[in-house]
């Protein structure tokens, strides 16, 4: 282990709020692939599973699959901090050299989800379900039988681990970001359980048949964000006095954005059985793990980090140091912290384009 500290269709996707990106890489194209009779891990079958995606670049180039975090969607991976540092000319995931595929996971974006109409009757998805739907999209729609790279942030990192361990021959490289090589457990799962239970215990939940979004959804979303995505040093600076801390909380509560409660609770619960540990030794792809020193959900000091990384042949680990600007779990969404590290990794991958 090398540890370093420091029915298919496609339409143009409007980037009205992302003009900066539009100037640096090709305009994303939106498409949807329909999987008939999709079987979930629960054994339930959905007659039609919509898998929505964005693509950037030429399909003839080496394919890169990019996956988003728990409450995000494909467009989440177009933000300046991530895409602005990765997809442009000469950057590590240069869209002129690679074919970038950004997928809405099951339950998010324009892919099939509870709020489409089934509400609580929608099957409870898992990360394995998401990966299987993505694999069908790649193989059956794009006719891709091997990825050059699988990369993802947060839940997208867990999906990367799932790809690496369940389909080890399918990719040249994998980059899990903000995700540990271990089970969904400890504080990470405890806090997710708190969000899920608080919302589902809200009387307004009504077994998922609510008339208005349960009030606890906004409160728990704000609580989880403050607890896990801001960084200790930065939060202390923003809330240096009780009055400043109160003002920060009030602002977060007021501005907290929430989606549909069924969609959100299903997404938080999707990682319930995630555990790549038993198959880490089966990984064949080159692996670069990107973590941050201040990640509240994925503490780098946990013994599992070194122990489980050592099971992966030739794996590399880079940890972004904490400072007053880093943002806890959200730190590694800002790709400027590791562009050089990722570029070096991409250059040494098998089948790397010139």
Encode pLDDT of 255-274 as tens digits: 988 899 999 999 999 999 99
Q: What pLDDT does 23 receive?
A: 62
Q: H helices then E strands: how many in the chain?
A: 11, 10
Please report where in the chains the tokens 């969404």 appear, as a residue: 333
**Cα–Cα dist 286/91, whole Å:** 19
Residue bearing the bigger pLDDT, 7 or 349: 349
Q: What pLDDT does 351 receive?
A: 92
Q: Does the pLDDT at position 295 exceed 90?
A: yes
Q: What pLDDT does 229 receive?
A: 84
Q: What pLDDT does 24 receive?
A: 86
Q: What pLDDT does 228 receive?
A: 86
Q: Does the pLDDT at position 22 exceed 60?
A: no
**Total-model pTM:** 0.93
**Cα–Cα dist 180/312, whole Å:** 13
E strands within 40-182? Answer: 45-56, 63-67, 99-103, 147-153, 171-177
Q: What pLDDT does 263 receive?
A: 97
**Percent of all residues in the chain with a pLDDT value above 70, rounded to a whole number:** 94
Instruction: Average the pLDDT over 24-44 and give the result.
Output: 96
Spatial contact of 53 and 101, defined as CB atoms under 8 Å apart: yes
Q: Does the pLDDT at position 310 exceed 60?
A: yes
Q: Does the pLDDT at position 72 exceed 70?
A: yes
Structure-token pair, residue 96: 């002129």
Please report where in the chains the tokens 């629960």 appear, as a residue: 42
Residue bearing the bigger pLDDT, 19 or 170: 170
Q: Does the pLDDT at position 7 exceed 60?
A: no
Confidence of residue 15 (pLDDT cuts 50, 70, 90): very low
- Classify strands 45-56 and 29-39 as parallel, antiparallel or unpaired: antiparallel
Q: Does the pLDDT at position 326 exceed 70?
A: yes
């Amino acid at each position: 282990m090398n540890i370093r500290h420091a029915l298919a269709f496609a339409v143009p996707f409007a980037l009205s709020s992302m003009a900066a990106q539009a100037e640096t890489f090709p305009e994303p194209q939106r498409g949807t692939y329909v999987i008939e009779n999709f079987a979930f891990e629960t054994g339930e079958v959905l007659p039609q599973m919509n898998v929505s995606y964005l693509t950037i670049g030429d399909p003839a180039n080496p394919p890169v699959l990019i996956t988003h975090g728990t409450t995000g969607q494909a467009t989440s991976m177009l933000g300046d901090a991530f895409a602005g540092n990765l997809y442009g000319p000469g950057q590590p995931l240069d869209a002129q050299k690679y074919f970038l595929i950004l997928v809405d996971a099951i339950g998010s974006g324009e892919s099939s989800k509870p709020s489409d109409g089934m509400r609580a009757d929608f099957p409870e998805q898992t990360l394995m379900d998401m990966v299987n739907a993505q694999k069908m999209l790649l193989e059956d729609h794009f006719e891709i039988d091997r990825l050059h790279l699988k990369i993802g942030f947060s839940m997208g990192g867990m999906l990367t681990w799932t790809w690496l361990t369940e389909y080890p021959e399918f990719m040249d490289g994998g980059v899990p970001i903000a995700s540990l090589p271990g089970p969904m457990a400890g504080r990470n799962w405890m806090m997710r359980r708190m969000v899920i239970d608080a919302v589902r215990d809200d009387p307004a939940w009504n077994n998922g048949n609510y008339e208005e979004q349960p009030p606890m959804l906004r409160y728990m979303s704000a609580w989880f964000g403050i607890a896990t995505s801001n960084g200790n040093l930065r939060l202390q600076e923003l809330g240096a006095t009780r009055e400043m801390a109160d003002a920060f909380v009030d602002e977060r509560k007021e501005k907290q954005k929430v989606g549909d409660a069924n969609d959100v609770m299903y997404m938080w619960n999707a990682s319930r059985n995630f555990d790549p540990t038993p198959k880490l030794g089966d990984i064949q792809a080159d692996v670069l793990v990107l973590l941050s020193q201040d990640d509240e959900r994925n503490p780098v000091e946990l013994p599992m980090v070194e122990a489980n990384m050592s099971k992966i042949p030739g794996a590399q680990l880079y940890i972004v140091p904490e400072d007053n600007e880093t943002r806890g779990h959200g730190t590694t969404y800002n790709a400027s912290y590791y562009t050089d590290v990722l570029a070096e990794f991409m250059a040494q991958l098998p089948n790397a384009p010139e």
